[in-house]
Chain A
Amino acid sequence: MNICILKKKGSLGLVIGFVALLTLSLVANSESDDHAQHGHESHDHAKQDYEEHQGDDHEEHQGDDHEEGHEEENEEHGHEGGDLEDQEGVVEIADAMASKAGISTAVAGPGEINKTLTVYGRVIADPGRISHIRARFPGTITQVNVSIGERVEKGQKLAEVESNESLKRYVLKAPFSGIITARHASQGEATEEQALFTVANFDQVWAEFQIFPGQMSRIALGQPVTMSVESEQTTSTIKHLIPSDSGQPFVLARAAIDNKQGRWTPGLLLQGLVSVEQVQASLRVDNRSLQTFENRTVAFVKEGERYEARPVTLGRSDSRFTEVLDGLKPGDEYVVINSYLIKADLEKSGASHDH
C-alpha cells in the first residue's frame, strides 16, 4: 500500500512536472525566438520560415547580412555592402551589372574650371552717343529733312533754320550717324530754346549689372560676361565698376555690347553670366561623381570590377567640374553617372525599414 501511495504521488508529481516542463519549454521557446517571432517583429518570420530546416540563424558567415535585417547593422557596419571585400569603402560590381545599372565612368584629367556668377542688369544707352540738337541761333525753322526713326549719317542735313538776327539760313547737321529718336521741329516753328532733334546711336550699348556686396569680391574688371535675353546672347567683358549713384548697396558693373544688329534696346533686362574665375586645373572631376560617404566627400575610383571610395580634397569648382587637389591621380577611372548607386551599395546594410 505504501508503495502504491508513493507510486501514486510519484505519478502525480510526474504529471505536474511534465506540464511544468511543457509550459517552460513553450515560454523558453517564445523567449529565444521572441525577437524573431512575435508577430509584429516578424520581418524575421520570413527568415525563420525560409530557414526553418536549419532551425537556427547562423547565417552571418555566409555573408547574408541582410537577412538579419536591421538588427545586424552594427555588427556588419564597416565591411558591409558587397560580397567579398574586407576593406572599408570598397565594393565589387560586375561590369555587366554596372552597365545595366547605368554606371558609367570617366578618366580624371586636367581641364578648365570656369566659375561663373549670375547677375542681372539692364541695357543702358551710351550717353556719349545721344545728341540733343538745338538751334544755334534762335529763328524759324524753314525746312525739316528727317523724321523720327530715320537713320542719319554723320553730317547729314537735318533741318534748316532762319536766324532771327541775321535772317540767314543755316543747316543743322547730324553730329554722328544714328537714329532720330525725337523731333520737336516742324516747318515754320520758332526754335525757342528746346532740343529740336535727338540723334542716338545704339551701335554700342552698355549693360549695367547690379553687383551685390556678397558678390563683389568675385567680380573684377576684365572678366568675360555672357549676356542673354530670351534666346539672344552675346559676350563682352566688364569695363567699369562704378558705385551706384542711387544710394543702393550695389555696384554697377558695365560691359559694352555691340549692337549693330539693333537687338539690344536700352531698358532690356539682362541676365549676365560672369566668368569670375577661369583656371586650368591640373586635375578635375565631373561634379556628378562626387558623393558624401562617412562624412567625407569622395569619388569612386574603378579598378577592374572594384570600386573604391576615395576621399578627395577639392579646389575650385564650376557648375560642371571640380578641381581635385588631393585623393585622385590623373588617369584614374572614376564613376560619373549613377555614382549614387555605389554610395548606396556601400551603405546599404544601414538601410532599414523602421516603423
Chain B
Amino acid sequence: MIESILRLSIERRWLMLSLILVLLGSGIWSYQQLPIDAVPDITNVQVQINTEAPGYSPLESEQRITYPVETALAGIPNLSYTRSLSRYGLSQVTVVFEEGTDLYFARNLINERLGVIKSSLPPGLEPSMGPIATGLGEIFSYTVEAEPGAVQANGSPYDATALREIQDWIIKPQLALVPGITEINTIGGYDKQYHVTPKPQAMLAFGVSLDDIGDALRSNNNNRGAGYVERNGQQLLVRSPGQLQAIVDIEQVVIKDIDGVPVKIADVAGVAIGKELRTGAATRDGKETVLGTAMMLVGENSRTVALAVAERLEQIQKTLPDGIKLDTVYDRTVLVDKAIGTVQKNLVEGALLVIAVLFLLLGNIRAALITAAVIPLAMLATITGMVKAGVSANLMSLGALDFGLIVDGAVIIVENAIRRLAEAQRRNGGKQPLKERLQLVFEATNEVIRPSLFGVMIITVVYIPLFSLTGVEGKMFHPMAATVVMALLAALVLSLTLVPAAIAVFMTGNISEKENRVVSAAKSLYEPALKGAMKLRWWVLSAALSLVVFSGWLSTTLGSEFIPQLKEGDIALHAMRIPGTGLEQAVSMQFQLEERIMEFPQVDKVFAKIGTPEVATDPMPPNVADNFVMLKPRDQWPDPTMTQTELVREIEAAVKQLPGNNYEFTQPIQMRFNELISGVRADLGIKVFGDDLEQLEVSAEEILPVIESMPGAADARVEQVSGLPMLSVVPKRLAIARYGLNVMMVQDLVAAAIGGEPAGLIFEGDRRFELIVRLPESIRRDFDGLSELPVPLRNGGYVPLSEVATLDIAPAPNQISRENGKRRVVVTTNVRGRDLGSFVAEVKTRIAQEVDLPAGYWLDYGGTFEQLESATQRLSIVVPITLVVILGLLVMAFNSFKDAAIIFTGVPLALTGGVISLWLRDMPLSISAGVGFIALSGVAVLNGLVMLAFIRDLWHERGDLASAVIDGALIRLRPVLMTALVASLGFVPMALNTGTGAEVQRPLATVVIGGIVSSTILTLFVLPILYRLAHGREKV
C-alpha cells in the first residue's frame, strides 16, 4: 500500500503539490478560528447554582434553599457529584458532571429541575445558574473612577453609590453586548436604594406600624394601563400614571388618617438615598472603587474577546459623564500575547535553526527547502486539526512541538533521495532522464520509508500514555499529546506524499550533494572512534551501563514538582481576616494593605475584591479579599534584574507587619482555578457525614488526635465551620401569646427593622432602584436600643422587643458545607515521609477501632490520594503496554526480536542524558520533564531504527558483519546526526527562553536536548557494538 501511495505521489506529483494550496487554505482559515489562551483550561464540567437570599443566615439558607435544590438534582444523567455551600445570604450548589458532558446539555437539565422546585423555595428567591464560563473566563477587569473634583449633576461629588449606578446602568448594558461575553460581574460601591427610615417614636405616636408604611408605599406606586377609547374616530390609549418619582413624592404618601388629618411618610420617617446591605466591596490603591469583570463565554478566544472588550470600553468612555473614567486593571491579552509571543519565538527560532542545520548538512539548498517546507505545512495541518478537535493554542499544547521531530521523517527521505540521485549522477556522469529519475526517487524513498514510518509511529505511540491521564493532569497534557500526535501524523502524511513529489519535481538539475566539510569532518572523526570502540567494546558497554545506573540514581536525587507553574507576571494574594470580620472593617484593613503595597516602586496598581460579587462566581465571606497586584514593566523597576520571587518575598515581609491579616500568595489565573476546582485540598480528607453540625464537629475532633498520633501525618486540621458571631432574637412564646402577637409578627419586625423590607421600585427611566423600609442606622447599630425596640400591638399599644424575645449573641456556623446532599465536616491531613497508600490503610483501620460514630453518621475518604491511586494504577498498566507496543512495532519492522531489543537499548541511554541535563540545570523532575522523556524514547528508537535497518541491509548484501557494521554506521552518520541535531536544535530556543511562560516549556526542552545528545553518541557507538555482538556468530 505504501508503495502504491508513493508511486501515486511521484506520478501525480503536480496534483500533490497543488494539494499544498488546500492545506494552506484550510490552515489559514482554521488559524482564525483557533482559540488562543495562555494555559489550558483545567476546569471540570460544572454548573454553579447561586441563590441569593438576602438576610438568610447559613442555617436558613441551607434548610430552605440548598437542601431542596440539591434534592432536585439527584438522578441527573452524567452527574459526578454535587457540593454546596450555605453562607449568609447565599446558597451555592456546585454540580460537577462527568468529563465530556456537554455543558449546555447539563445546564438544560438543571434548568428543568430548577423549574420544578421553584414553588418549594421561599417566595421571592430565584435560583440562577452561574455564568457559562470557566476558570479562564475572567479575562478583563476595569474600575470606574471619578477624577478629583468631578461632581454629579446635583453638585455633590461622586461617591461609591453614584459610581455603581454608572456601572450598572451605563457601562454594563453596553459591555454585555460584546460578542463572547457571557456576564459582566460587578463588585464594589453600593446599589442605589431609596430608604424610608421610620422613627420608632413617631410610629408609636401616630399608631403606625412598619407594615402600614410598607403597605402605603406599595399601594401608591404603580402605573396602570386602562385600555383605550375611541373619540371621533381616533384611538386614545388610557393610562393612569402613579409611580413615585422622587424623594418628595415618597414623603407625601399618606399612611393613615387620624381625625381627618393625614399621616404622611414624612411625619414618621426620613426618606433618603441609602446604601444597600452589601456583601462585597472593591478597593483600588487604597480607595473604594467599583470593579467590573468581563467573563468570557466557554470556548471563546480570550484574546479576541478581551480586545473587543477594550475597544468597547473606549467607546463607552465617551458616553460617560464628565470626570468619570474607566481604567483597565487586568487584561488577559497582555498575558496571552506574552505567552504566545514566547511560543512563537520558540517555534520560529527553532524552525530557523532546523533549516540552517538541514542546509548545512545536506549541502543542497533545494533539498533543505523541501524538508523545511514540511514545517509550515505540518503546522497548518496541525492547526486545522486543533480547531477540529477543540484544542486551544497555549503554552502547554504548543509546548511539546519540536520541528526537529516533525521533519525527522522527511529528513531521512530527502537525505536518502539526494544521496541516491547524486550517486546515480556520478555513475552516469550527468542528468538522468525523467523516468529514471522518478524511479530513483521512488526507490530511494521506499528504501527508508519503512523505518521512518515506524519511527514516527513509535514517537506517536509513546505519547499514548499521556492520554490515559485524567483530571487536572489530563486536561493539562491531553492537548499537548494531541497536538504533537497531530503534527507528527501530518508530517508523516506529508513525507509520504508531498516530499517525494517535491523531490521528483524540484531535484532536477545537478545534484550537488557535496560531502560538505562538516559531514566529512564528522566522518573522519567517527570512523576511527567507532573502530576503537569496537575494540574496547566491553569497556564501552560497561561504561554505558554504569552511566545508566548512575543517572538512574541521579534521578532519585532530583527534586520533584507536578508541573512548573506558569509565571503570570502579576501577583495575586488572598488577604484573610478572622471569620466574622465585618465588611467595613475589612475594607479599612484593606486600605492599609494596599497603601503598603503601593509603596513598592515595582507595583503599578493594586486592587481587591472583598466578599461576594453581584454574581457569586466566587462566594467569599467578607473576611477574605482577593488582591491583585499589577506590576510595572520590568524596565521601570529600580532594579530590573530583581526576580519576581524576590519581589514577592519583599512584599510578603512588608505586609506581614500589618496587623490582623493573613496571606496566601498566588497568581490571578491560578487563584481562579483553585476556586473553581476546589475540593479536598490535602493528601487525605476524611469526610464525616451526618445531620447534626455539632455532632459532626465532635466526631471530627475525635478523629483529629487519632490522625495526629500517626507517623507521617502533617498539617492535620479540622475544617472550620463555626465562629461566626450571631445575634439571635428568640421569640418568647408565652409572652408573645400574652400580648396577642405571633412569632411571625416579631420576626417580620426584626427582619424589617434590621434588614429592611422591600416596598417596591422607583423608576428613573430605565434605571430602577429598590425602595426599602428600614430603621435608621443609629438604631440598627445600637444593640441596647434594639432590645427596647417597640413592637406594636394589635390594640394599638406597644411592647418592647426584650419583653417578647430574648436577644443573645453566640457563635454560630459561618458556613455549612454539604457534599452529595449531606452535611459534612472534613478532617484533612498531608502525609510526609511515608507512602500514602499504607497511611490511608492505617487511618482507616485505626479510625474504625478508635472512633465511635453515632448511628446515622458515616465516613468517606477522599483527597488527592484518590487521584494518585488512579493515576498510578493507570500508568502502571499503560506504560508497560506502550513499551510492548513499541517493541512489537520494532519486531514487525525487523522480524527479529533480537534487533528490536537492541534498538530498545537506545531508550535508557537516551534517558541518561535527559536526567543529567536536568541535574545540570538544577531542575526538578516534573510531568513536563516526563513528557520530555517520553518524546526522547521515541527519538532514540527512531535513531536506532535508522541505523540498524541500514546495517542489516548492508550485512545481508555483503555477508560480512564487521565491515557492514562499520560502513553502515558511517553511511548513516549523516541522517543520525541530522535527525539528532534538528530535533535538539529545534528545542534550543525553548530551553533558553526566559519570556513569560517559558518556565512551563523549559524542562521538556532541556530533557530532550540532553537526551538526544547522549542518545546520539550512544547510538553511534553502543548500537553497532551490540549489533555485532548479537549477530557475531550468525551467518547471513
Contacts and interface: CB of A to CB of B under 8 A. Distances in A.
Interface of A: 1, 3-4, 7-8, 11-12, 14-23, 25-43, 45-53, 55-56, 64, 66-75, 83, 91, 93-94, 97-98, 100-103, 117-120, 210, 212-215, 229, 248-249, 268-271, 292, 319, 340-345, 347-355
Contacts of B797: 210, 248
A290 to B, nearest CB: 12
Interface stretch (B228-236, B333-341, B481-489, B902-910): B902-910
Contacts of A11: 901-902, 904-905, 908, 1026
B716 interface: yes
B803 A214 contact: yes
Interface in B901-933: 901-902, 904-905, 907-908, 911, 924-927, 930, 933
B802 A4 contact: no
B577 A351 contact: yes
B26 interface: no
Contacts of A91: 659
B617 to A, nearest CB: 12
A20 B898 CA distance: 21
Contacts of B800: 118-119, 212, 214-215
Nearest to B624: A353
B670 A46 contact: yes
A48 B162 CA distance: 43
A29 B716 contact: no
A101 B659 contact: yes
Nearest to B574: A353
Nearest to B912: A18
B726 interface: no
A352 B798 contact: no
Contact of A12 (B472, B574, B715, B904): B904
B570 to A, nearest CB: 12
Interface string B674-695: 1101110111000000000000
Given A341-B589, A345-B661, 18 more contacts: A1-B1032, A7-B1030, A8-B901, A8-B1026, A11-B904, A12-B904, A29-B560, A30-B473, A34-B865, A34-B867, A39-B677, A42-B673, A66-B662, A74-B716, A212-B800, A344-B581, A351-B661, A353-B574
Given A18-B552, A45-B670, A214-B800, A249 B665 contact: no
Nearest to A9: B901
A142 B124 CA distance: 73
B345 interface: no
B868 interface: yes
A4 B670 CA distance: 54
Nearest to B556: A25
Contact of B660 (A34, A72, A348): A348
Given A38-B472, A46-B565, A353-B624, A21 B552 contact: yes
15 contacts: A4-B1032, A15-B908, A28-B560, A29-B562, A31-B868, A34-B867, A40-B677, A40-B681, A45-B565, A52-B561, A67-B652, A347-B578, A351-B576, A354-B817, A355-B85
Interface in B641-674: 645, 648-649, 652, 656-667, 670-671, 673-674
B201 A344 contact: no
B574 A269 contact: no
A74 B911 contact: no
Interface in B36-90: 42, 85
B713 to A, nearest CB: 11
A93 B803 CA distance: 45
B468 to A, nearest CB: 12
A37 B574 contact: no
Contacts of B803: 212-215
Interface stretch (B403-411, B497-505, B875-883): B875-883
A348 B864 contact: no
Nearest to B910: A18
A313 to B, nearest CB: 18
Nearest to B884: A16
Contacts of A27: 868, 871-872, 875
A252 to B, nearest CB: 12
A29 B658 CA distance: 36
A100 B578 contact: no
Interface in B360-408: none
B659 A345 contact: yes
Interface stretch (B6-14, B101-109, B717-725, B956-964): B717-725
A94 B654 CA distance: 13
**6 A-B pairs with least C-beta separation:** A29-B560, A344-B660, A37-B562, A41-B681, A40-B677, A269-B205
Interface in B193-209: 201-202, 204-205
Interface stretch (B168-176, B214-222, B783-791): B783-791
Contacts of B1026: 7-8, 11
B576 A352 contact: yes
B563 interface: yes
Contact of B835 (A8, A31, A42, A45): A31
Contacts of B243: none
B601 interface: no
Contacts of A20: 879
A97 B868 contact: no
A46 B664 contact: yes
A35 B871 contact: no
Contacts of A71: 682, 714-715, 717, 828, 830
B58 to A, nearest CB: 13
Interface residues on B, range: 35 or more
A46 B620 contact: no
Contact of A37 (B563, B652, B817, B937): B563
B883 A351 contact: no
A331 to B, nearest CB: 24
B279 interface: no
B659 A98 contact: yes
B794 interface: no
Nearest to A269: B205
B1002 to A, nearest CB: 12
B649 A50 contact: yes
Contacts of B576: 348, 351-353
A51 B717 CA distance: 24
Contacts of B836: 31, 34
Contact of A43 (B202, B476, B556, B666): B666
B623 interface: yes
Contacts of B115: none
B974 to A, nearest CB: 26
Contacts of B270: none
A103 B708 CA distance: 39
A131 to B, nearest CB: 26
B522 interface: no
B665 A26 contact: no
Given A8-B902, A34-B864, A66-B656, A344 B883 contact: no
B579 interface: yes
A118 B662 contact: no
Given A69-B664, A71-B715, A50 B677 contact: no
Contacts of B673: 39-40, 42
B30 interface: no
Contacts of A40: 472, 673-674, 677-679, 681
B714 to A, nearest CB: 8
A101 to B, nearest CB: 6
B794 to A, nearest CB: 13
Given A42-B565, A48-B561, A214-B803, A352 B658 contact: no
A4 B577 contact: no
Contacts of B85: 355
A225 to B, nearest CB: 14
B548 A18 contact: yes
A248 B739 CA distance: 9
A42 B560 contact: no
B663 A66 contact: yes
B578 A348 contact: yes
A13 B1030 CA distance: 16
Interface in B975-999: none
